[in-house]
A and B are shown apart, each in its own frame.
Chain A
Amino acid sequence: MTRLRDPLLWLIVLFIALLLLMPHSTALFSWLFPDLSRPVYQQESFISLAMAHLSLVGISSLVATVVGVGLGIIVTRPWGQEFRSIVETITAAGQTFPPVAVLAVAVPVMGFGRDPAIIALVLYGLLPILQGTLAGIGAVPASVREIALGAGMSQGQTLLKVELPLAAPLMLTGIRTSVIINIGTATIASTVGTTTLGSPIIIGLSGYNMAYVIQGAVLVALAAIVTDRLFERLLKHITRHAR
């Protein structure tokens, strides 16, 4: 019974139901937009759009997490501290650079498709992850680090057993922000020929088809909400020792 009361479960059910039912919603959208001859997006199935969207976000977020967390760890080591300010500056610049502009620069070099989109999304998503990692590691009390070393842990053991687990909640918060941003931003990857849930939105905008825009936007928004709830759940799980 308690499982059935979980809003996350219902959000996931709703998302899947919309993916499956969207192709059969012609009646609804012709009633809402009587002027449109083809009121439901049918170039690709919504399920394949969603899969493509999530895999694009998954790959770019994974790369951004590995790079962001890796950089965060390096610049908090005694030997990497002098690189800290330059890493922070470059990463911050990565986020001030609009993803559309990155696409505009990357496409002539790499051609149309997924690769330029992944680069744009990685650059855009790096900053929150790096900041989360730096804040998390910075929040580990000096006394705890001292005890870890004093008990005879190596630098590596101190990092893996003490610093990273204690930094995890703030790191995860950064990753969560980054992934949510990327789910929204990935829609514009469809401007360079990548299939995503942004495809109906882009095509709808250029063809004055509001029905397409709504169909894409609702699914992207729901995907973001479901993901956000999933992170909420994960965060609760890893901070259970503090309750």
Chain B
Amino acid sequence: MIEFDSVSKYFNGVPAVSNLTLNIRKGEFTILIGTSGSGKSTTLKMINRLIEPNEGHIRFAGEDIREQDPKALRRRMGYAIQSIGLFPHWTVAHNIATVPGLLKWPKKQIENRVDELLSLVGLEPAQFRHRYPHQLSGGQQQRVGVARALAADPEVLLMDEPFGALDPVTRGSLQQEIMRIHKLLGRTIVLVTHDIDEALTLGDNIVLMDGGKVVQQGTPLTLLAKPENDFVRDFFGRSERGIRLLSQRTVAQSVRADERLDGTPIHQEMTLREALSQFLDRETLQLPVVDKDNRPCGVLHFNDLIRGSHDQVA
């Protein structure tokens, strides 16, 4: 979908991105992660030509983006940044309609689309349509930002630390929301963050960058279980690595299906990290498990948490 071919970008002679080769597959949720100055934001902004590379080629849907009109290219890509990016003098509806308006959609179609998107991001259209950004909370503003990025049904969604300015609770619910939207619409998403847990929760594919280069890329499990070097290991936290590995697996993967147990059950979609918390909270070594229809489907043993952490790496 998006291919970087030996791309370099210099700011005043200093390389921000050097010789980057990267392939972002269609429909995948890709996370660009790294410390400040690792080149992750520069990489993202080169995709919609807000920043032009000095060397190399970037292809979008098979075509070199330099041969396309930047305005037309950007209208095919949704773009969301931290909440302050809403136009303060426009209503919520007008903000969401930015790109459809530029594409000159009929008025009726735009109105329907705005309502559809407000519902999609969990805001009641009748209540929010005519509000101005300053009348919304930070989380609501960010939902509008996501809706605006999705407005013209873009082929790819580019997000630059979209949840960076939010409190942990709001951030968590928006992360759930964006994962639901990703599953629902199957859209290609590229998201920049420096939050490790956000990357591990959201990403299908994580690209860890440092000093303008890709250090390692792969599934969250690969990066946690098979770090290629000490930088990767340190980045994902030596002391918390085990816990983060647990959060990559669900109860369903470790449940003993032929056993039954009485007591308050846990759901099989729960991550093993949450299950660990339940074990400690209830001071027990075994927990009954139910499926999504609340039917008993087995028992989780504390010992089973430890087994198999590194097994499922492709």
- Which residues from chain B sit less than 8 Å from chain A, CB to CB? 48, 50, 70-75, 79, 81-82, 84-91, 98-99, 102, 132, 134, 148, 158
Main secondary structure of the interface of A (DSSP, over half): helix
Known contacts being A152-B72, A153-B71, is A147 close to B79, with CB within 8 Å? yes
Bound-complex Cα distance A144 to B95 (A):
11
Bound-complex Cα distance A146 to B134 (A):
19
Q: Are B89 and A154 in contact (CB under 8 A)?
A: no
Q: Give 29 A-B contacts (CB < 8 Å), ordered by A residue.
A: A143-B85, A144-B84, A144-B86, A144-B88, A146-B85, A147-B81, A147-B85, A147-B86, A150-B48, A150-B158, A151-B74, A151-B75, A151-B79, A151-B98, A151-B99, A151-B148, A152-B71, A152-B74, A152-B75, A152-B99, A152-B102, A153-B71, A166-B88, A166-B89, A241-B89, A241-B90, A241-B91, A241-B132, A242-B88
Q: Is A90 an interface residue (CB 8 A)?
A: no
Q: Are B87 and A147 in contact (CB under 8 A)?
A: yes
Closest Cβ of chain A to B165, distance in Å, is 11
Contact of A151 among B91, B102, B134 (CB under 8 A): B102
Chain A minimum-CB-distance residue to B82: A143
Known contacts being A152-B72, A157-B102, is A143 close to B84, with CB within 8 Å? yes
B73: chain A residues at CB < 8 Å are 152
Q: What per-residue 1/0 map shows which CB atoms of A150-180 lie under 8 Å from chain B? A: 1111100100001001100000000000000
Q: Is A108 an interface residue (CB 8 A)?
A: no
Closest Cβ of chain A to B93, distance in Å, is 13
Q: Are A146 and B71 in contact (CB under 8 A)?
A: no
B75: chain A residues at CB < 8 Å are 151-152
- Which residues from chain A sit less than 8 Å from chain B, CB to CB? 141, 143-144, 146-154, 157, 162, 165-166, 241-242
A141: chain B residues at CB < 8 Å are 84
Q: Are A144 and B85 in contact (CB under 8 A)?
A: yes
Bound-complex Cα distance A154 to B71 (A):
7
B91: chain A residues at CB < 8 Å are 241
Chain B minimum-CB-distance residue to A162: B87
Closest Cβ of chain B to A102, distance in Å, is 38
Chain B minimum-CB-distance residue to A148: B87
A162: chain B residues at CB < 8 Å are 87
Q: How many A-B residue pairs have CB under 8 A?
A: 60
A166: chain B residues at CB < 8 Å are 87-89
B132: chain A residues at CB < 8 Å are 241-242
B148: chain A residues at CB < 8 Å are 151
Bound-complex Cα distance A146 to B79 (A):
10
Q: Are A143 and B79 in contact (CB under 8 A)?
A: no
Q: Are A146 and B102 in contact (CB under 8 A)?
A: no
Question: Can you name 5 extra interface pairs (CB under 8 A) apart from A147-B86, A152-B72?
Answer: A143-B81, A144-B87, A150-B74, A151-B79, A241-B132
Q: Are B88 and A149 in contact (CB under 8 A)?
A: no
Chain B minimum-CB-distance residue to A169: B89
Q: Are A153 and B102 in contact (CB under 8 A)?
A: yes
Q: Are B72 and A146 in contact (CB under 8 A)?
A: no
B134: chain A residues at CB < 8 Å are 242
Q: Are A241 and B99 in contact (CB under 8 A)?
A: no
Bound-complex Cα distance A166 to B85 (A):
13
Contact of B89 among A147, A157, A165 (CB under 8 A): A165
Closest Cβ of chain A to B151, distance in Å, is 9
Closest Cβ of chain A to B94, distance in Å, is 10
B50: chain A residues at CB < 8 Å are 146, 149-150
B86: chain A residues at CB < 8 Å are 144, 147
Closest 3 CB pairs of A and B: A152-B74, A150-B79, A152-B75
| Best-buried of A143, A151, A162 by chain B (most CB within 10 Å) | A151
Bound-complex Cα distance A41 to B50 (A):
66
Closest Cβ of chain B to A140, distance in Å, is 10
Closest Cβ of chain A to B129, distance in Å, is 14
Bound-complex Cα distance A148 to B101 (A):
12
A242: chain B residues at CB < 8 Å are 88-89, 132, 134
| Best-buried of A143, A147, A154, A165 by chain B (most CB within 10 Å) | A147
Closest Cβ of chain A to B49, distance in Å, is 9
Closest Cβ of chain B to A170, distance in Å, is 13
| Best-buried of A141, A152, A166 by chain B (most CB within 10 Å) | A152
Q: Are A149 and B74 in contact (CB under 8 A)?
A: yes
B99: chain A residues at CB < 8 Å are 151-152
Chain A minimum-CB-distance residue to B75: A152
Bound-complex Cα distance A148 to B79 (A):
10
Chain A minimum-CB-distance residue to B72: A152
B79: chain A residues at CB < 8 Å are 147, 150-151
A157: chain B residues at CB < 8 Å are 102
Chain B minimum-CB-distance residue to A147: B85
Closest Cβ of chain B to A169, distance in Å, is 10
| Best-buried of B82, B84, B88, B134 by chain A (most CB within 10 Å) | B88
B48: chain A residues at CB < 8 Å are 150
